[in-house]
Amino acid sequence: MGVWPIRGVVHKTHPGIAPQPRVHSQSDMASKKASNKRQRGAQKSCSNVFSMFEQSQIQEFKEAFGCIDQDRDGVIKKQDLKETYAQLGKLNVQDEELEAMLSEGKGPINFTVFLSLFGEKLNGTDPEDTILAAFKPFDPNGTGFVNKDEFKRLLMNQADKFTAEEVDQAFALAPIDPTGNIDYKQLCYIITHGDEKEES
């Protein structure tokens, strides 16, 4: 099962990415009717998905969906995922992995299905575990630390391309040791609990 590229696209607002209206041909309309029948079953199980999240979370998912839906047709397809991963710097994603991700939706992945998928994945997860898991790719040796300069470079050059000011603002909370490494476990605790954990 693949890892949806949501982490790289959720963290920043994307002002010019509103979905563009699409003009439908007769063949588009015929295939849309056929896919609507398949979608009805999936949507019935998704109807309460909006109650699982706060409005601000739904907005973040909507922004992420808009970033992944590269062709702005309201449905995430394999090519959309390929292009999103390419923008995140991951060019070697296998077709099988993408197809496995798409099959999780049991039909076309529109926004409601997308939200439902993440509702199921996030249901019962600990925010602290989620944040720690986001740092793990940057800490292959499991030290609990990531190099501040390398992490800053990645944030400024991959996916959302944060500005130096945005990164510095985010690092203001980060516990950084004398060698320039961020203690991301301590940072995670600060983010989820609001203050530093006392050393035992």
Mean pLDDT lowest for which of 35-44, 124-133, 188-197? 35-44
Q: What angle do CA 108, 116, 126 make, to 5 degrees?
A: 140
Does 136 have pLDDT greater than 80? yes
Q: What is the pLDDT averaged over residues 111-134?
A: 82
Rounded distance, CA 21 to CA 184, Å? 42
Contacts by residues 128-132 (CB-CB < 8 Å, ≥ 24 positions apart): 128/188, 128/189, 128/192, 131/188, 131/191, 131/192, 132/184, 132/185, 132/188
pLDDT at site 199? 54
Higher pLDDT: 179 or 158? It is: 179
Rg (C-alpha) for the chain, rounded Å, is 19
pLDDT at site 123? 72
**Three-state SS at 66:** helix
Distances (CA, A) of 137 to 7, 50, 150, 195: 12, 30, 13, 25
**pLDDT-based confidence at 5, cuts 50/70/90?**
low
**pLDDT-based confidence at 146, cuts 50/70/90?**
very high
Please provide the distance, in angstroms rounded to a whole number, between the alpha carbons at the two ends of the chain.
39
Tokens at residue 2, please?
């693949």
Q: What is the pLDDT averaged over residues 32-57?
A: 60
Higher pLDDT: 48 or 110? It is: 110
Tokens 């998905």 locate to 49
Tell me the pLDDT of the chain averaged across its residues. 77
pLDDT, tens digit, 9 for 90 and up, residues 66-122:
999 999 999 999 999 999 988 887 888 899 999 999 999 888 999 999 998 888 777
Domains present along the chain, CATH in parentheses: 7-122 (1.10.238.10), 127-193 (1.10.238.10)
Q: What is the pLDDT averaged over residues 58-68?
A: 90
Phi, psi dihedral angles at 190 (to 5 degrees):
-65, -45
Higher pLDDT: 138 or 159? It is: 138
Report DSSP letters for 119-166, one per residue.
HHHHTT--HHHHHHHHHGGG-TT--SEEEHHHHHHHHHHSTT---HHH
